[in-house]
Amino acid sequence: MAAAAVVSNGDYAAVKTPSTGRFAAGYSEVQNSRLDHSLPLPSVLKSSLKVVDGPPSSAAGNPDEIAKLFPCLYGQPSVNLVPGDSAGELAPKALKIGVVLSGGQAPGGHNVISGIFDYLQDRCKGSTLYGFRGGPAGIMKGKYVVLTPEFIYPYRNQGGFDMICSGRDKIETPEQFKQAADTAVKLDLDGLVVIGGDDSNTNACLLAENFRSKNLKTRVIGCPKTIDGDLKSKEVPTSFGFDTACKIYAEMIGNVMVDARSTGKYYHFVRLMGRAASHITLECALQTHPNVTLIGEEVAAKKQTLKNVTDYIADVICKRAELGYNYGVILIPEGLIDFIPEVQQLIAELNEILAHDVVDEAGIWKKKLTPQSLELFDLLPQAIQEQLMLERDPHGNVQVAKIETEKMLIQMVETELEARKQASAYKGQFKGQSHFFGYEGRCGLPSNFDATYCNALGYAAGVLLHSGKTGLISSVGNLAAPVAEWTVGGTALTSLMDVERRHGKFKPVIKKAMVELEGAPFKKYVSLREEWALKNLYINPGPIQFVGPTADKVNHTLLLELGYQE
Amino acid sequence: MAAAAVVSNGDYAAVKTPSTGRFAAGYSEVQNSRLDHSLPLPSVLKSSLKVVDGPPSSAAGNPDEIAKLFPCLYGQPSVNLVPGDSAGELAPKALKIGVVLSGGQAPGGHNVISGIFDYLQDRCKGSTLYGFRGGPAGIMKGKYVVLTPEFIYPYRNQGGFDMICSGRDKIETPEQFKQAADTAVKLDLDGLVVIGGDDSNTNACLLAENFRSKNLKTRVIGCPKTIDGDLKSKEVPTSFGFDTACKIYAEMIGNVMVDARSTGKYYHFVRLMGRAASHITLECALQTHPNVTLIGEEVAAKKQTLKNVTDYIADVICKRAELGYNYGVILIPEGLIDFIPEVQQLIAELNEILAHDVVDEAGIWKKKLTPQSLELFDLLPQAIQEQLMLERDPHGNVQVAKIETEKMLIQMVETELEARKQASAYKGQFKGQSHFFGYEGRCGLPSNFDATYCNALGYAAGVLLHSGKTGLISSVGNLAAPVAEWTVGGTALTSLMDVERRHGKFKPVIKKAMVELEGAPFKKYVSLREEWALKNLYINPGPIQFVGPTADKVNHTLLLELGYQE
What are the chain A neighbours of B105 within 8 Å (beta carbons)? 258-259, 262-263
Quick: pLDDT tens for A97-139: 999 999 999 999 999 999 999 999 999 999 999 999 999 999 9
CB of B228 less than 8 A from some CB of A: no
- Option in B31, B165, B440 nearest A542 (CB): B31
Contact A542 B30 (CB under 8 A): yes
pLDDT at residue number A566: 67
Band of residue B384 on the pLDDT scale cut at 50, 70, 90 = confident
Q: How many angstroms away from the CA of B243 is the closest CA of chain A?
A: 15
What is the percent of chain B with per-residue pLDDT over 70, rounded to a whole number? Answer: 95
What is the percent of chain A with per-residue pLDDT over 70, rounded to a whole number? Answer: 95
- Option in B11, B540, B546 nearest A31 (CB): B540
Q: Mention every residue, 6+ apart, whose C-beta is less than 8 A from residue B124.
A: B92, B93, B94, B95, B462, B466
Q: How far is CA B208 from CA A37, A443, B129, B188, B464, in A?
A: 54, 50, 18, 15, 13
Summary mean pLDDT of chain B: 92
- Say if residue B203's pLDDT is above 60: yes
The pLDDT of A289-315, averaged and rounded, is 97
Compute the distance between CA of residue A247 and CA of residue B542 in angstroms, rounded to an integer. Answer: 13
- Say if residue A2's pLDDT is above 60: no
Contact B28 A539 (CB under 8 A): yes
- Residue B540's closest chain A neighbor by CA? A28
Band of residue B265 on the pLDDT scale cut at 50, 70, 90 = very high
Contact A540 B158 (CB under 8 A): yes
pLDDT at residue number A14: 43
Quick: pLDDT tens for A180-214: 999 999 999 999 999 999 999 999 999 999 999 99
Band of residue A379 on the pLDDT scale cut at 50, 70, 90 = confident
Quick: pLDDT tens for B84-140: 887 778 899 999 999 999 999 999 999 999 999 999 999 999 999 999 999 999 999
The pLDDT of A355-366, averaged and rounded, is 77
Sign of the alpha-carbon torsion through A230, A233, A238, A241: negative
pLDDT at residue number B400: 72
Compute the distance between CA of residue B493 and CA of residue B73 in angstroms, rounded to an integer. Answer: 9
Is A273 annotated as ligand-binding? yes
Give the range among A427-431, B49-53, B324-328, B562-566 with minimum mean pLDDT.
B562-566
- Option in A30, A161, A443 nearest B541 (CB): A30
CB of B162 less than 8 A from some CB of A: yes
pLDDT at residue number B383: 79
CB of A254 less than 8 A from some CB of B: yes
Q: How far is CA A252 from CA A246, A287, B23, B249, in A?
A: 10, 11, 22, 10
pLDDT at residue number A24: 40
Is B75 annotated as ligand-binding? no
Contact B439 A546 (CB under 8 A): no
Summary mean pLDDT of chain A: 92
CB of B35 less than 8 A from some CB of A: no
- Say if residue B23's pLDDT is above 70: no
pLDDT at residue number B214: 96
- Say if residue B5's pLDDT is above 60: no
pLDDT at residue number B395: 73
Decide: helix, strand or coil at residue B413: helix
Q: Mention every residue, 6+ apart, whose C-beta is less than 8 A from residue A505.
A: none
DSSP β-bridge partners for residue B437: B272
- Say if residue A25's pLDDT is above 80: no
Quick: pLDDT tens for B53-79: 999 999 999 999 999 999 999 999 999
- Say if residue A10's pLDDT is above 50: no
The segment with the largest mean pLDDT, out of B329-333, B381-385, B548-552, is B329-333
- Say if residue B308's pLDDT is above 90: yes
**A332 against B566, higher pLDDT:** A332
The pLDDT of A207-227, averaged and rounded, is 98
Are B269 and B332 contacting, i.e. CB atoms less than 8 angstroms apart? yes
